[in-house]
């Protein structure tokens, strides 16, 4: 059997300050009880399987979440494939067969609003009752608040969609950042004098369409556009492309750490490529004035 664990279950999208508070509590309790601090996450987000039309934009990929969670000191992460079959598992079976038997959980810490099992039938009291029968402790976590706001992924998604990076940073505990792969684009940026790195898996980001000042790999300033490039080719899905200042290396296939520093302007369609080029120069000037480091 696996070594005994202290466990929290959730999606942890963004790994914001509320998540960090929960995970630090998990680590502390694990030390007190000599348990392995562990996290269970679902992939994909359950709503993408159950009600795709209502699924949220995502703050982070599974890989980004794993990175942030491990950086806090969590030793074990279990990823559960969330599919139609898994969604039909009863709350009791989930607690018995997955939480208790599969993971050998001795302590389960649950969020204040945690729901689980088929039709979200499970809640704290059921978990506590099952724990008493099977032999694991269940304790609740309290909402984590900053400036009178309960921190949640939903709150941060809204702030980013509004272009409010300042408040999003307050609740994330860091600049909003991603780590994703550079893929080949159409080289349209190079043709107008501003080569860009096209970033993979960005069509469903929680960002307002527009132009941003960004920090790349913690050392380069850049200007990024998130949207459909209406002046150039008007794509069907949103694309994130980053022009890195004072940089001319080939990045195809590499992963880049990109931190969003500030929202510069909304995306718009220009009358000509020349007008677009002039605006990009203004965007770069503004980014340097506000965020040079």
Cα–Cα nearest to 36, from 72, 71, 2:
2
Amino acid 57: pLDDT: 96
CA distance 130 to 96: 8
What lies within 8 Å, CB to CB, of 128 at 6+ separation is: 138
Residue 44, preceding peptide bond in cis (omega within 30° of 0): yes
Residue numbers of the chain with a pLDDT score lower than 50: none
Amino acid 268: pLDDT: 87
Q: How many CB atoms lie within 10 A of CB 223?
A: 25
Is residue 241 flagged as an active site residue? yes
Amino acid 273: pLDDT: 85
Is there a contact between 258 and 180 (Cβ–Cβ < 8 Å)?
yes
How many helices, marked H, and strands, marked E, lie in the chain? 10, 13
CATH topology (fold) of 5-150: Rossmann fold (3.40.50)
Is there a contact between 213 and 261 (Cβ–Cβ < 8 Å)?
yes
Q: Which of 129, 137, 200, 241 is catalytic?
A: 241
Task: Report the run of H or E that residue 212 belongs to, with start and end.
Answer: strand 210-216
Amino acid 187: pLDDT: 60
pTM: 0.92
Domain limits, CATH 3.40.50.620, in the chain: 5-150
Amino acid 61: pLDDT: 96
Is there a contact between 224 and 258 (Cβ–Cβ < 8 Å)?
yes
Class of domain 178-291: mainly beta
Amino acid 89: pLDDT: 95
Domain limits, CATH 2.40.30.30, in the chain: 178-291
């Amino acid at each position: 059997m696996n070594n005994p664990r202290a466990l929290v279950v959730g999606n942890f999208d963004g790994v914001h300050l509320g998540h960090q508070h929960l995970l630090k509590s998990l680590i502390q309790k694990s030390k007190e009880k000599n348990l392995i601090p562990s996290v269970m996450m679902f992939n994909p987000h359950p709503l993408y399987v159950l009600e795709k039309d209502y699924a949220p934009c995502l703050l982070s990929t599974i890989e980004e979440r794993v990175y942030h969670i491990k950086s806090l000191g969590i030793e074990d992460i279990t990823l559960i494939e969330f599919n139609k079959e898994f969604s039909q598992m009863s709350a009791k079976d989930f607690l018995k067969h997955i939480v208790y038997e599969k993971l050998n959980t001795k302590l389960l810490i649950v969020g204040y609003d945690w729901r689980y099992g088929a039709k979200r039938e499970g809640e704290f009291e059921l978990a506590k009752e099952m724990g008493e029968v099977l032999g694991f402790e269940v304790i609740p976590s309290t909402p984590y608040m900053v400036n009178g706001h309960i921190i949640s992924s939903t709150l941060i998604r809204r702030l980013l969609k509004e272009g409010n990076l300042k408040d999003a940073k307050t609740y994330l505990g860091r600049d909003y950042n991603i780590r994703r792969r550079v893929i080949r684009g159409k080289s349209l940026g190079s043709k107008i004098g501003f080569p860009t790195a096209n970033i993979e898996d960005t069509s469903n980001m929680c960002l307002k369409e527009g132009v941003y000042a960004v920090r790349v790999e913690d050392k380069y300033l850049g200007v990024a556009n998130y949207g459909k490039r209406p002046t150039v080719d008007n794509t069907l899905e949103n694309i994130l492309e980053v022009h890195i200042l004072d940089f001319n290396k080939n990045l195809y296939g590499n992963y880049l750490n990109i931190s969003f520093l500030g929202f510069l302007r909304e995306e718009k369609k220009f009358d000509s490529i020349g007008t677009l080029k002039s605006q990009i120069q203004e965007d770069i000037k503004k980014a340097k004035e506000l965020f040079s480091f």
